Structure 1
């Protein structure tokens, strides 16, 4: 991983226009997400970024947490131009370290269909036992 990249947990450094584009246009999980929805989600979450040596944001991650027992890692995105340079590892390591340092969170969960190998390197595994991940879709216009 190059020292030309820097991890940050400072929400003021997030390029919200860029993040919205990445998620609403380029991601497979948030296609069409409105800017209003994205901004509201960011405002209620912990936000992380990785920047290159020129200060350009190349990655983003968001964590929804109570700050005490539970955290949901979501919206992890690495710009296509920065992929293959260790940026995914950098942002996951940074998020885990921030949650270890700044809270008593005992459990971090996530959902992925493409990066399970990356997350497994950091101790993420399928839920053991008879636990089932369940979803209730809320009707919204």
Structure 2
């Protein structure tokens, strides 16, 4: 596969990440400053083609001991279907700082079958979970 994944934040194409996220269903209109801050405080995974161009992204919000939340996973439209998301998720799964966690969570509207391949499943006891909603949209 002509793709690689790196956690080096210096290689991230922040413009590409912001453009994709600000047009996504889950972060529509997100300001660049919020994307930059979220990257600064997360464990990030960039996917790159053989020329070093970024083609995908994911980030983990974690304490690196007990809990992680997988967020902002994407592959640019023209590279979808090439196994890049699976490569990113496989790399995340093997990352040394994410071993032995009690729980890793995520939210998705349309990619359940992808995440199930990596052991994710529907919440077994949703009545135990609560949320505090903040702002509804960035725009």
* Unaligned segments of structure 2, at least 5 residues: none
Aligned-pair RMSD on alpha carbons? 1.7
The alignment status of 1:86 with 2:110, answered yes or no, reads no
Secondary structure at the residue paired with 2:78? helix
Identify which of 50, 54, 59 aligns with 1:57. 54
Q: Matched residues in 1 for 2:5 and 2:102: separation?
A: 23
1:24 aligns with 2:19: no
- TM-score of the aligned structures, taking structure 1 as reference length: 0.90
CA distance in 1, matches of 2:43, 2:118: 19
Per-residue displacement from partner, 1:48-80 (whole Å, max 9, x unpaired)?
Answer: 011001110000001100111000000001001
1:46 to 43, 47, 54: 43
Report the CA distance between 1:9 and its aligned residue: 1.3
2:97 to 58, 80, 102: 102
How many residue pairs get aligned? The number is 136
CA distance in 1, matches of 2:17, 2:125: 36
Tell me how far 1:95 sits from its aligned partner: 1.0
- Residues 92-137 of structure 1: CA distance to partner in whole angstroms, max 9, x if unpaired? 1111111xx2244221100001110000011100121354432212
Specify every segment of 5 or more residues in structure 1 that has no aligned partner in the other structure, as ranges: none
**C-alpha displacement at 1:138, in angstroms?**
2.9
In 1: Cα distance, 2:130 partner to 2:16 partner: 31
- Provide the residue aligned with 1:124 in structure 2: 120
CA distance in 2, matches of 1:137, 1:76: 21
Q: Separation in 1 of the partners of 2:45 and 2:97?
A: 14
Given the superposition, is the C-alpha separation of residues 130 and 29 from structure 1 closer, same or farther in structure 2, using an over 3 Å criterion?
closer
